[in-house]
Structure 1
Amino acid sequence: MAARPHPRAEVRALIPRAASAQITRRALLSGFAVSATALTLAACARETRIAASAPVDGKLESQLNVYSWGDYDDPRNIAAFQRKNGVTVQIDSYGSNEEMISKLGATRGTSGYDIIVPTGVYVPLLAKNKLVQKLDLSKLKNFANLLPAYRDQSWDPGNVYTVCKDFGTTGYAYDTDVIDREMTSWQDFLDVAETTASHNTALLEDPWEVSCIWFAANGIDPNTTKKADLDACEKYMVNTLAPHVKAFNSSAAQSGIPQQTFSLIQAFNGDVRQAYLATDKPPKNWKFVFPTPTANLWMDCWAITTGAQHPDSAYAFIDSMLEPEVAYRELDYIGYSTGLKGQEELARKRDYDFPELVFLTEEVEKRLTPSLVTDATERLTSIMNRMMAKAGS
């Protein structure tokens, strides 16, 4: 079944549903690239002691305060949790990890938020600055429902601070009416962008994702910090690829596929599914590629803040989101996999549209590379800025 709007629970969001229908969660994330140094300074804005969290005693508090992305949970799940547990859930929204980190850093444990939803690569920074607390996984009985592939990530070994909320990857979609060759790799993407799809190619507004195309095509770790790698990437991407690029737009798939605006689009897998759903009929002339040899594995996570005043309700809420039926409603609502066992089987049984775009094969999973915030982050941003200035020339 296709994702569809549901009656809203009594929650407050700073980004309205009307806006989020046009700007997806991944599009909101893209375009916010800053240095690790700047983030650290934001997180350490005040040299004061972090407020202590309330003790965990197993008794649910009557309030829970969540700080997350706009319209990022099925309101039915929020309402059901409130009814079942007698807990009032308050949800505020942010538009980037940087915004969230800055607020937590400035308040130093007195923000009032109990749960946050960071993207995985930012977890080490949050942990280093003591903005999230270590989890007691024994209080999350449904943690066992998570597939092994979505536990124990490189940025949080052992799930010390987080558990998976949902995940996705990056690839590209192409119009087979324009591009008649079979495409499987990032090298194919580059070849076609320079030829058949010249001036009709869209890239994401994300420096890591854009640079990953060249690094992956050349067998280089996308998280490289080597100067020689970065120099070579910049030379090719700015001087060779950029003149063929029509747009840098992280929402290009949603409009570009139904309206045939582009013929080659770098995109997040779930966003391509949304684009397919927006067409009057299945777009037979479009194909999505999980490109070789690698691409990003991004993951958004549940975490409990340092200074949380409602920790028992926080554990209960996260645990409820790891229940199979609850997780399936999330999958249906946001269009990205929650990483739980049995979700693909449920989706196929319930005629979930385009499951092949959401559920990754084992072969694809094994070759993905989680993006990292590194010393090269500023350089990657500079490369993309230069590409944008040169695009379409």
Structure 2
Amino acid sequence: MTEHTPIRILADASQVPGVVRNLSRRRLLSATAIVGGSALLAACSSGGGGTSTGGGGDSTATGGPLEDELSIFTWGDYDAPEVLEGFTAELGPKIILDSYGSNEEMISKLIAAKGTAGYDILVPTGVYIPQLIEHGLLMKLNMDLIPNIEHMDPEFLNLAWDPNGEYSICKAWGTTGFVYDKTVIKRDLKTWNDFLDAAKNEASGKTSVLDDPAELTGMYFWANGIDWSTTDEAELQAAEDFLVNELAPHISTFDSYPGGGAISQGTAALFQAWNGDARQGILESKDPDKWQWVLGAPATELWVDNWVISSSAPNPEAAHAFINFVLEPENQLLNVSYIGYHTGAKDIEQKARDAELPMLDLIFFTPEQIATMHEGEVNEATERVVDIYNKMKAAASA
């Protein structure tokens, strides 16, 4: 879509290979996986149980008969049920879903299984893909079996983590902001500084934040004009001092999926949230007009998730068939409607408008908004960020 040409910031080569973002569509597991997964991947010399291939596995899908099953390891509740049911009804394979709460958790499980986890399709965040390829954990896609790639917007193909498009296809991308109850907070909130101030005042004891280390330190850094991937100890210490000593006593909940019920039930007045999750929560509320979404400002996060196939996939034919099925325009639209995230499909914004899907401003962003979104990094500060997260949770006793 020409109006979203700046999307290339999604694939700034200078930002590969990592992002600290435990994107959960349902809930985040313990913080131990956050560092553990990255450490395991960095140390791992095994790809699929042997030595690292340095380039992933060759495709074993040839267009033969589909297997009876398909195992998908993905973020929770991240596909429209109609799409999953339609695949089985139309093509046959029974889908088995398993979910994770972070990229690190997914990586840890793959490496611990030494190539025998039994998953076919994975949905990692893009900047993890070079690491997965390096350690032989991904299969090259047989693009002859995915002709529906023609329905993808070229802007979302061949991104920096997979410049030749051999291993991955964009599944969805999104960002971070917050939602507040206008009947409780009666002033306009527009920035992360506003969020933090309201959390300590009108929403004290009624503030929910993402259960994610990078998001918690991120909102402090975004509010203060600091690179959220900083490794500067003075900046990290300042973040700790604020989050642990000033903000934590006001936090009621650490919840990576407030859209799953917390927003609609009004369990808090202020929620940090990912855009699609926020949309779902507002739409499910009995009084949606009382909720206001705000894109984090002056800067915030950007993430991209991708369809990939495990190098040890037991059902590679079904895996290719599923990805091709999902890329059909009608299925892309069903997913956009359900998950509330941009899928990278060609002309998907116009199709969503033609279908009169609600709250499209939470799905599609202007070039000016996209320019404020930035990917994070896995770096030497990762463990420090997790330490701040643990201290903040202990201080909040939430």
Query: What TM-score range do you get, normalising by the shorter chain?
Result: 0.7 to 0.9
Question: What is the Cα deviation at residue 221 of structure 1?
Answer: 1.8
Distance (Å, rounded) in 1 between the aligned partners of 2:382 and 2:335? 32
What code does the residue aligned with 1:206 have? Answer: D
1:205 to 211, 217, 233: 211
- Distance change in 2, residues 1:174/1:71 (3 Å): closer
Equivalence for 2:4: none
Equivalence for 1:192: 198
Q: Deviations over 1:200-243 (max 9, x none)?
A: 22211000111110111122221222323222221222222222
1:68 to 67, 73, 76: 73
- Distance change in 2, residues 1:45/1:99 (3 Å): farther
Distance (Å, rounded) in 1 between the aligned partners of 2:60 and 2:265? 54
1:373 to 360, 363, 378: 378
Equivalence for 1:228: 234
SS in structure 2 at match of 1:27: coil
Q: Which segment is superposed worse, 236-245 or 89-98?
A: 89-98
- Distance change in 2, residues 1:54/1:353 (3 Å): closer
SS in structure 1 at match of 2:25: helix
SS in structure 2 at match of 1:296: strand
What code does the residue aligned with 1:34 have? Answer: V
- Distance change in 2, residues 1:199/1:367 (3 Å): same
1:102 to 103, 108, 112: 108
List alignment gaps of at least 5 residues for structure 2: 1-22
Equivalence for 1:352: 357
Q: How does 1:1-393 map to 2 (within 5 A)?
A: 25-29=24-28, 31-32=30-31, 33-35=34-36, 36-41=38-43, 44=46, 48-49=50-51, 55-63=60-68, 65-69=70-74, 70-85=76-91, 87-96=92-101, 97-137=103-143, 139-148=145-154, 150-281=156-287, 283-391=288-396
Contact kept, 8 Å, 1:253 with 1:265, in 2: the verdict is: no
SS in structure 1 at match of 2:252: strand
Question: What is the Cα deviation at residue 159 of structure 1?
Answer: 3.7
Contact kept, 8 Å, 1:146 with 1:341, in 2: the verdict is: yes
Distance (Å, rounded) in 1 between the aligned partners of 2:77 and 2:265? 25
SS in structure 2 at match of 1:199: coil
SS in structure 1 at match of 2:300: coil
Distance (Å, rounded) in 1 between the aligned partners of 2:382 and 2:340? 28
- Give % identity: 39
SS in structure 2 at match of 1:228: helix
- Distance change in 2, residues 1:31/1:369 (3 Å): farther
Distance (Å, rounded) in 2 between the aligned partners of 1:47 and 1:347? 43
Contact kept, 8 Å, 1:53 with 1:308, in 2: the verdict is: no
In angstroms, what is the RMSD of aligned CA positions?
A: 3.1
Q: Deviations over 1:233-290 (max 9, x none)?
A: 2122222222222222223454443333322211111222222222224x22221001
Q: Deviations over 1:316-337 (max 9, x none)?
A: 3212211211111222333333
Contact kept, 8 Å, 2:26 with 2:260, in 1: the verdict is: no
- Distance change in 2, residues 1:264/1:103 (3 Å): closer
- Distance change in 2, residues 1:253/1:114 (3 Å): closer
Distance (Å, rounded) in 1 between the aligned partners of 2:389 and 2:43? 24
* TM-score, length basis structure 2: 0.80
- Distance change in 2, residues 1:79/1:275 (3 Å): closer
Question: What is the Cα deviation at residue 71 of structure 1?
Answer: 4.5
Q: Deviations over 1:31-69 (max 9, x none)?
A: 542242144457849963579656443334434533223
SS in structure 1 at match of 2:26: helix
Q: Which segment is superposed worse, 144-153 or 190-199?
A: 144-153
